[in-house]
Chain A
Amino acid sequence: MLCFLLILVGVLHRPIGALVTDPRLQTWLTVFVSVMVQAVPFLVFGVVLSAVIAVFVPRAFWARALPRHPALAVPVAGVAGVVLPGCECGSVPIAGSLIRRGVTPAAALAFLLAAPAINPIVLTATAVAFPRNPEMVAARGGASLLVALLMGWLWLRLGRTDWIRLPHRAHLDGLPRMTAFWTACRHDIIHAGGFLVVGAMAAATINVAVPQQLLHELAARPVLSVLALAALAVLLSICSEADAFVAASLSQFSLTARLAFLVVGPMVDLKLVSMQAGIFGRRFAVRFAPATFALAVLVAAALGTVIW
């Protein structure tokens, strides 16, 4: 079937290339492909790490590494996000793998939200992008960690385990280790990667379709501008290592609005929600993403008002 498809595409090669001459469509394709090319190394890295967790780290390790009480495990897991130098595409499969290995979901979710926002690479990029506002680094790190922990604790109070439905995966326990490792890798890449494609297509569409003049007019209104940039962060789905530079270039907006952009982006965006729906299930994603968005906007707006 695949061979047939490839032959078909090979034969139609020229006509397809000729179809894509509209500049807008070309820009869409370029953005789509580049979001994918950018995300694939992080996705593969995250998937390999999550397969290592699934196969080589014994269940007992997590019981020892994390405090027994879930409410205490949340901050430990959140702060542990510092050690994962990557962007958000990698952390979704890792969080899924942690839950499979018996880590309490609240702690795994705190890790999921914190890791892409507070790791050293992202904070350094933020410092480089805002040379005249070094407080932005602290504000971003603090607000992101706070949102991650609050979401973890919120999950402890309100969350229901049956919302999370991890995709069925062949049972790894009986397999030889290397077989299990490669099976886990392939499974996670296919799942998370497929949904990443959906998210990348959505992000490319927004990138091409949203008129920038509209943004310029929104920037003048204080409350609306915070909401507008938070929504833009969701729609654009920029990698968390790069979003600080984009935020810096949106200089007609207030610093508070740009902080909201930086806090929301790594936690809720189209490709992330799409991947979460793939890894944790749709019932989870429709509840978790809006709650995170609301909390992130509130925390960022409050912190921004206090600082600036």
Chain B
Amino acid sequence: MVLVFLGGAILVASVTDLYLRYVKQGLRPFLIAAGALLVITAVMALVQELRALNRPEGGPDDDGHGHGQSGPVVGWLLLLPALALVFVVPPALGADTASRAGSALTDDRDVAYPPLPPGDPAELTLLDYGYRAVYDHGRTLQDRRIQLTGFIAPGSDGERMLARIMLSCCAADGVPVKIGLRGNVPRMPADTWVQATGRWIPHTAKDPVNDADVPYFQVEDWQQIPAPAEPYE
């Protein structure tokens, strides 16, 4: 019964886009398979128990240890994640994580930075913008209008930053990328998603949490957007 519920919750989350709040997209087929297997296991267990009921002389499972059919108490804990997934639906990581964790821009990558993708403004991920701005000294960013998408996170001294969380596997390993804002800074509360258009400026600061580099971005124009289905980079 516990298994039906857990399996069902995982199936629902992976058929909708809900699972993207917690893990990477590539895990989806495995989630569906695992959820289905959990439900099948539970159904098979139910079938066996019904059969055992029809044989009142004591089923093959009954070995006289007084060991309940549905397993130990600790198994009930499996209800907790299922309940949380169905009834609370925790949000994707956001400004709280961004304010506590250090930014990801700490390590120079020795790669050649290709020219920006075509289009005006050019759409970049925060991480791509950050690497180009800090370690390539904005060489490929000059003279282009750039569009960045992220959520508003409070900086150390009350200023507003644009941030996005990067996942490599699940939300437990989420690391934020932070971009400082200048110009037409969106005065919106934390965790508001915005799409900002603007230009690179040659200014970087240090993240007080881990000394990572924080590049800056001159905002010309911005608009509020609903949170994307895939909230992570």
- Say yes or no: is B55 at the interface (Cβ < 8 Å to chain A): no
Closest Cβ of chain B: how far from A125's Cβ, in Å?
8
A2 near B44 (CB under 8 angstroms)? Answer: no
Which residues in B have their C-beta under 8 angstroms from that of A29?
84, 88, 90
Majority SS at the chain A contact face:
helix
For the complex, give the distance between the alpha carbons of A75 and B197 in Å: 58
Residue of B31, B72, B84, B211 touching A32 (CB-CB under 8 A): B84
B31 near A191 (CB under 8 angstroms)? Answer: no
Which residues in B have their C-beta under 8 angstroms from that of A200?
81
Within 8 A of A (CB), among B55-77: 60-61, 63, 65, 67, 70-72, 74-77
Residue of B2, B97, B106, B107 touching A27 (CB-CB under 8 A): B97
0/1 string, B32-70, CB within 8 A of A gives 1: 011101100110110010000000000011010101001
B90 near A194 (CB under 8 angstroms)? Answer: no
A249 near B109 (CB under 8 angstroms)? Answer: no
Counting chain B CB atoms within 10 Å of each CB, which of A9, A216, A249 scores highest? Answer: A249
B90 near A170 (CB under 8 angstroms)? Answer: no
For the complex, give the distance between the alpha carbons of A212 and B75 in Å: 34
Which residues in A have their C-beta under 8 angstroms from that of B22?
30, 33-34, 37-38
The count of chain B contact residues (Cβ–Cβ below 8 Å) is: 73
- Say yes or no: is A193 at the interface (Cβ < 8 Å to chain B): yes
Residue of A216, A236, A246 touching B168 (CB-CB under 8 A): A246
- Say yes or no: is B124 at the interface (Cβ < 8 Å to chain A): no
- Say yes or no: is B196 at the interface (Cβ < 8 Å to chain A): no
A30 near B75 (CB under 8 angstroms)? Answer: no
A to B CB contacts below 8 Å, 5 in the list? A34-B22, A34-B170, A170-B63, A203-B172, A238-B169
Contact surface of A with B, Cβ cutoff 8 Å:
2, 5-6, 9-10, 13, 16-17, 20, 23-24, 26-27, 29-38, 40-41, 43-45, 48, 125, 129, 131-132, 167-168, 170-171, 174-175, 179, 182-183, 185-187, 189-191, 193-195, 197-198, 200-201, 203-204, 207-208, 211-213, 215-216, 236-239, 241-243, 245-246, 248-249, 251-252, 278
